[in-house]
């Protein structure tokens, strides 16, 4: 059985680790960008069964681009090496450490700034049962909040790591059916657990019924009522207020913030359904950008769609995490047609296809795009504020762009305030970077 996530175009893994120095640059790299752009994705090394291989599985490979003083000093790609299963989903910086992350049972693997050395880092045992790919860092306290889970245990473990990397709070919250909990929401005062209908229990039922289950044992669960668990930041299991959520599934939360009336707002990328027809990737229904207004006092969630475009990989200015934001940046999602109104027959090969960079102004409802050119599509963007920025979009968008015409990648820098302008700079990489998951700009300290 063929499997597009192993074989098709830029989904296919690369076979080698690559090193290159003094990368060619078109345009001018801002001299303020001193640090590393790091991204990660799955890169199976062989021995996987195409019939059951899920896109989310496979050894992680980190792709790093070092920028300094207006130059692109190096590009390196390295497999994440770990005897406990290699994280493949996100790479972040916390407490002076670079951490590769994955959910559902594996602790982070720390990687040195030159990408040479790797070692499991579990916060002195606090993360030994696993972590998450999407922790949220409060920009004021520097604390890292995480909803962690392991489907073998019937709970979500909420962990708060201090700015020093030490675990300072843990709460175990009972959750039935073993839901996939990929992301969470953090506001200034609260956290939200996403308990949505993709579960380990449903995968087990499918298996017993003789239906295909991938090597990622989570599938759509129409017996699992979607709900949100709202609790105080740093709160306990007894303080969780469960509220029924709109139908569908959310991998990613753009951002969330408190409202004066006690409700909270969370902007999410919501799918109607995933992992039912296609159990090897999230291609069943297209993603839509929804604003959820969650009112714990009334026990209600109001949903409104806030973009005409299909988007994924939502990113906000990290300094506004948990605070009211205006802008979101996304990879446009084109596999079902870029606009919600596009009437495009779904490609029978399906897949999860990105396209242009998309900026949504949630105050005006305006969407602007940056098209990278024929055969060129962006992966997840990162917003990097300009030092002493004067507005929320005063900064740059960095993303790895795949160029199918030459089968190589570039790190492209855009002016976040003016997406219609030509790129500020394009760093030409010597190889392609497979479509993976998440990346971040890690500035030098």
SS (H, E, C) 176-208: CCCECCCCEEECCCEEEEEECCEEHHHHHHHHH
The tokens describing 301, both together, are 């969630």
Question: Coil, helix or strand for 7?
Answer: helix
* 182 among annotated binding-site residues: yes
User: How far is Cα of residue 138 from the mean position of the Cα atoms in its chain?
Assistant: 17
Question: Which residues 6+ apart lie within 8 Å of 132 measured at CB?
Answer: 101, 103, 146, 147, 148, 149, 181, 182, 183, 184
Question: Are 36 and 65 in contact, with CB atoms under 8 Å apart?
Answer: yes
According to DSSP, residue 6 is labeled H
Question: Are 357 and 419 in contact, with CB atoms under 8 Å apart?
Answer: yes
* 169 among annotated binding-site residues: no
DSSP class per residue in 265-322: EEEEEEES--SSS-SSSS-SS-EEEEEEEEETTTTEEEEEE--SB-EEEEE--GGGTT
* 94 among annotated binding-site residues: no
According to DSSP, residue 25 is labeled E
* 54 among annotated binding-site residues: no
In our burial notation (b when 16+ CB lie closer than 10 A, e otherwise), range 14-23 reads eeeeeebeeb
Query: To the nearest 5 percent, what fractions of the chain are helix, strand and coil?
Result: 5, 45, 50
Residue 144, H or E segment = strand 144-149
Pick from 200, 235, 208, 255: which is nearest to 383 by CA?
Answer: 255
According to DSSP, residue 246 is labeled P
Task: Say how many CA atoms lie within 13 Å of 33 toward its Cβ.
Answer: 30
Residue with tokens 């005006």: 364
Adjacent-strand bridge partners of 425: 27, 413
CA angle at residue 356 from 304 to 214, to 5 degrees? 75
Residue with tokens 């009336």: 261
Q: Binding site: residue ranges? A: 134, 182, 252, 438
Q: Which residues are annotated as a binding site for Fe cation?
A: 134, 182, 252, 438
């Amino acid at each position: 059985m063929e499997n597009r996530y192993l074989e098709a175009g830029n989904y296919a893994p690369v076979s080698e680790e690559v090193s290159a120095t003094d990368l060619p640059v078109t345009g001018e790299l801002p001299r303020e960008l001193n640090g590393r752009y790091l991204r990660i994705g799955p890169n199976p090394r062989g021995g996987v069964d195409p019939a059951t291989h899920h896109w989310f599985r496979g050894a992680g490979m980190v792709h790093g681009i070092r920028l300094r003083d207006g130059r692109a000093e190096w590009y390196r790609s390295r497999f994440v090496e770990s005897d406990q299963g290699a994280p493949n989903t996100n790479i972040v910086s916390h407490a002076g450490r670079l951490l590769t992350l994955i959910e559902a049972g594996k602790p982070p693997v720390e990687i040195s700034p030159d990408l040479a050395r790797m070692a499991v880092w579990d916060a002195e045992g606090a993360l030994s049962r696993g972590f998450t790919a999407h922790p949220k860092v409060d920009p004021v306290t520097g604390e890292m909040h995480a909803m962690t889970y392991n489907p073998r245990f019937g709970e979500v473990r909420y962990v708060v790591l201090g700015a020093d990397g030490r675990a300072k709070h843990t709460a175990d919250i009972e959750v039935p059916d073993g839901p996939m909990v990929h992301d969470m929401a953090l506001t200034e005062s609260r956290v939200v657990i996403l308990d949505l209908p993709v579960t380990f229990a449903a995968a087990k039922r499918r298996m017993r019924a003789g239906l295909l289950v991938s090597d990622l044992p989570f599938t759509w669960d129409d017996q699992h009522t979607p709900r949100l668990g709202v609790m105080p930041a740093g709160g306990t299991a007894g303080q969780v207020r469960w509220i029924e959520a709109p139908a569908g599934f959310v991998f990613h939360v753009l951002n969330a913030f408190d409202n004066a009336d006690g409700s909270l707002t969370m902007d999410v990328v919501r799918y109607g359904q995933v992992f039912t027809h296609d159990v090897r990737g999230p291609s069943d229904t297209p993603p839509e950008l929804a604003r959820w207004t969650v009112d714990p006092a009334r026990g209600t969630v109001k949903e409104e769609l806030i973009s005409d475009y299909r988007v994924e990989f939502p990113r906000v200015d990290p300094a506004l995490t948990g605070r009211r934001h205006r802008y979101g940046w996304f990879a446009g999602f084109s596999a079902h047609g870029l606009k919600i109104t596009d009437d495009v027959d779904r490609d029978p090969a399906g897949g999860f296809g990105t396209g242009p960079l998309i900026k949504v102004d949630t105050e005006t409802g305006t969407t602007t795009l940056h098209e990278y050119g024929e055969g060129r599509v962006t992966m997840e963007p990162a917003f990097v504020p300009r030092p002493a920025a004067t507005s929320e979009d005063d900064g740059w968008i960095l993303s790895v762009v795949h160029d199918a015409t030459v089968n190589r990648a570039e790190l492209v820098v855009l002016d976040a305030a003016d997406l219609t302008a030509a790129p500020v700079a394009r760093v030409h990489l010597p190889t392609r970077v497979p479509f993976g998951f998440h990346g971040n700009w890690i500035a030098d300290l």
